[in-house]
Structures are given as structure tokens and as C-alpha cells.
């Protein structure tokens, strides 16, 4: 489909916003001068993610629209329908940050348009390295980087992505026929993807969830080094808060059934994790 045929309505808003996320988006912990740039990045990421997740769009339309966003990020498309990408490109110019993080997200979401199953944990993490890790890499670049590179940030972002996959495993299967649980683990446990349509987790499916949670905990062990390595004290506080949220959600997913209800933190619990993590990082940094 030619991009000229999509000059209006290229976005597919899901209604999700920052309140839906497992982490604080552009919170008061971060420098006020940087929050507008973070807001632009989040708006851009949400727009392209919503396109990839829209069940009413064909894979071909999704890819064409995402290609339009990529062209706008590269400065090759001036179509006003891609306004969020144009705003993001200007933000990248002002902050001298590479567009690669934005393009990596598009790569992942184009994959979402055509791929609905993942054979192994390694294949899933490859996807997370493009769908989640770029968010942390962008924030690190915006705040002056880390003394230890991207590894701990990648681990934290990927852990959050897996947690989100487990929270939404039933909705993803029912609404868009997408399964992020490794198929080899399902086979070994004697589970099937259709188990995700049940009202409660079977013992076999629970074994697969536990394997995913064990992988998440390994990622969080690597991520624990992130706050103390960051050059920005404020980002260190934010990352420590996110670590606390991720650990709490992981523990709850071990105790609770994501097929029975969405496992998430209450607003007080979310706020307490933010405060506790931020205070702990503030004392260390």
C-alpha cells in the first residue's frame, strides 16, 4: 500500500496511556527539562505499538504504516499523518540522540505484525532486545549514560517486557492470537497454547510460567547493578523504583493466576515501590 493512501488515520489508538504501564513514565523523579522529550518518546512508542497490536488491521497495512513512521524518523517522509514521528525526530535532533532506538522499536513491532509464536526463550529475548531494551537505552542516552554500558538497562527493560507478557498472556492470545511463552517449554511441560483460553492456569501451564519467572529473576539480578552505575542521580532513583516494581510484580505472579485476573499493583503499592526504590537509590548514589 502506498504511503500516499494513508495520509489520515494512520494511528490506531488503543486507549492505553502512561497509567497502564508497569513503570513510571516521565515521573517527577526525572529532570523537568527532559520530561517533554520523554513524553515525545512515549507518545511515539505508544503509537507504533498500538498499530502492531490492532486486530482490525492486516499485517500488510501494519507494516506499511510502521514503514511510514520509520521514514519520518529518518527525515524521508513529511506526511503530517506521522506527526508523532516528526516530533520525535526533532527531539532527537535537539538532544543529539541516535534514531536507532526508535528504529529498533519499529523492527520489533513489524515482527509483531507477522509473528505470533516464539520457539524458545532466546528467541523471545531477541524480540525484547528490540521491543523493550531501546526504551532504556534512549533514557540512558538522554541522561548522560551509564558507566557500565547498556547491559543492566537491557536486562531491566527485558524483564519488564516478560512480566507484561505474563500479565497479558490470556488477552494477547484471545484478542490477537499472539503467544510469547516459549513453545519448547510448553511442549516439555505438556501444555498447549489453548490452555491460555481457560479460566485458570493448569499445572502444566504453571510450570511454564514459573520458567519464565525464573528467567525474569535472572534478568533482575543483572539489572540490580543499574542504579549505582548511572551518571544521573535522578535516573538512578527512577531505575531503582522500577526495579522495586518489577520485583514486586514477579513475586505476585508466582503467587497469583494471570488467567483468573490481571496481576497488577494497586496504586498505593505502586507508589510505595517508587518511594522505597527512589529513597534507597538516593542514599547509595
Answer yes or no: do 54 and 81 share one domain: yes
Q: Is the pTM of this model over 0.85?
A: yes
Query: Does residue 17 sit within a domain?
Result: no
Q: Going residue by residue through the chain (285 aa), what tens digit of pLDDT does each one get?
A: 333 334 348 988 877 765 566 666 556 678 899 999 999 999 999 999 999 999 999 999 999 999 999 999 999 999 999 999 999 999 999 999 999 999 999 999 999 999 999 999 999 999 999 999 999 999 999 999 999 999 999 999 999 999 999 999 999 999 999 999 999 999 999 999 999 999 999 999 999 999 999 999 999 999 999 999 999 998 998 999 999 999 999 999 999 999 999 999 877 777 767 777 666 655 454
Answer yes or no: do 141 and 157 share one domain: yes
User: Which domain, by its residues, includes 60?
Assistant: 32-114
Number of domains in the chain: 2
For residue 182 the three cell numbers come to 516459549
The residue from 82, 114, 146 where one domain ends is 114
Amino acid at each position: 500500500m502506498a504511503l500516499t493512501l494513508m495520509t489520515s488515520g494512520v494511528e490506531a489508538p488503543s486507549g492505553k496511556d502512561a497509567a497502564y504501564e508497569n513503570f513510571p513514565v516521565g515521573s517527577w523523579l526525572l529532570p523537568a527539562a527532559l520530561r517533554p522529550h520523554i513524553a515525545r518518546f512515549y507518545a511515539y512508542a505508544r503509537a507504533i505499538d498500538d498499530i502492531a497490536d490492532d486486530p482490525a488491521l492486516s499485517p500488510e497495512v501494519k507494516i506499511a504504516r510502521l514503514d511510514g513512521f520509520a521514514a519520518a524518523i529518518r527525515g524521508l517522509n513529511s506526511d503530517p499523518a506521522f506527526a508523532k514521528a516528526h516530533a520525535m525526530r526533532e527531539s532527537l535532533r535537539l538532544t543529539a540522540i541516535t534514531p536507532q532506538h526508535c528504529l529498533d522499536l519499529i523492527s520489533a513491532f513489524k515482527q509483531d505484525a507477522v509473528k505470533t509464536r516464539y520457539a524458545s526463550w532466546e528467541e523471545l529475548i531477541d524480540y525484547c532486545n528490540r521491543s523493550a531494551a531501546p526504551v532504556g537505552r534512549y533514557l540512558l542516552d538522554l541522561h548522560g549514560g551509564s558507566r557500565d554500558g547498556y547491559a543492566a538497562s537491557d536486562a531491566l527493560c527485558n524483564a519488564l517486557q516478560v512480566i507484561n507478557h505474563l500479565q497479558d498472556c490470556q488477552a494477547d492470545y484471545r484478542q490477537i492470537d499472539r503467544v510469547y511463552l516459549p513453545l519448547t517449554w510448553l511442549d516439555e511441560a505438556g501444555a498447549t497454547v489453548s490452555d491460555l483460553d481457560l479460566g485458570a492456569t493448569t499445572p502444566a501451564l504453571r510450570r511454564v510460567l514459573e520458567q519464565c519467572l525464573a528467567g525474569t529473576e535472572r534478568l533482575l539480578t543483572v539489572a540490580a547493578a543499574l542504579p549505582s552505575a548511572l551518571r544521573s542521580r535522578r535516573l538512578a532513583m527512577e531505575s531503582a523504583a522500577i526495579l522495586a516494581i518489577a520485583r514486586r510484580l514477579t513475586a505476585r505472579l508466582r503467587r497469583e493466576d494471570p488467567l483468573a485476573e490481571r496481576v497488577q499493583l494497586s496504586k498505593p503499592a505502586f507508589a510505595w515501590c517508587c518511594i522505597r526504590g527512589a529513597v534507597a537509590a538516593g542514599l547509595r548514589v
